[in-house]
Amino acid sequence: MTLDIIKEVVNVGIGDAAAALSTLVKSRVTIEVPEIHIVDTRDAPDFIQNEIRSLGVYIAQDFSGLFRGKTLLFYSKESCTSLLKALLGDIQVTSALTDTAIATLQEIGNIIMVSCVSTISNMLDDTVEFQIPDVTLEISEGYFKNLVKGLGDLEKTIIVRNQMIVRDNEIEGYFFIMLSFSDFLLLIEKLGNRMLNKGNAQ
């Protein structure tokens, strides 16, 4: 039941994010059904270590309101390069990200993450405040271990593995929503009630 509720919401959010990307690249964006996992945040680094072994880019954003937490987007360097090529045209691939690339990724992260969390917020008739996203180029394991140490009470993590095809480039990304256990339960309860009411009304 919990996973079904999360899947329903995530599908809407990822669909909105794909539509947003499609507007930016002026081309159709195809999305695959996302794979969703709910894990304890302390177990997230091990989970990620098994999934991601490459250098990648993380875009992180904090939010607060009825529920508060952190969202995180991860793209491998290859996916990131494909994404930037689709958005900016041919770019020179170097080991470091240029300021333009960082600014672009920051805005893409902002669009995708705010789109997803706004979708949830609108479903709950709530208002969430967002912070400016940070972009970090890191090896996944190290970044995650450090991140988890500083997360305090954000004990639950929803992990969404999503694949998109943008201008013939396959882009695989991971989207994380980190919440406290009590906010996670509150979110599930409220979203579940909303879906139940919607179902009864039909």
Would you tell me which residues interact with another protein (CB under 8 A)?
A: 20, 23-24, 26, 87, 100, 103-104, 106-107, 110-111, 114-115, 118-119, 121-122, 125-128, 130, 132
Closest to 108 measured CA to CA, from 48, 54, 158, 175 = 175
Minimum separation from the CB atom of position 110 to another protein (A): 5
b (16+ CB within 10 A) / e for 98-135 = eeebbebbbebbbbbbbbbbbbbbebbeeebebeebeb
Minimum separation from the CB atom of position 107 to another protein (A): 4
Residue with Cβ nearer another protein (37 or 167): 167
Token representation of residue 191: 């979203």
Residue with Cβ nearer another protein (114 or 178): 114
Residue with Cβ nearer another protein (47 or 130): 130
Residue with Cβ nearer another protein (33 or 103): 103
How open is the CA angle 97-99-102, to the nearest 5 degrees? Answer: 65
Minimum separation from the CB atom of position 80 to another protein (A): 14
Minimum separation from the CB atom of position 196 to another protein (A): 21
- Find how far residue 111's CA is from the centre of its chain: 10
Residue with Cβ nearer another protein (110 or 169): 110
Minimum separation from the CB atom of position 151 to another protein (A): 22
**Contact status, residue 161 vs residue 45, Cβ threshold 8 Å:** no
Kind plus residue range of the DSSP H or E element containing 179 = strand 169-179
Token representation of residue 153: 């009470």
Kind plus residue range of the DSSP H or E element containing 77 = helix 77-88
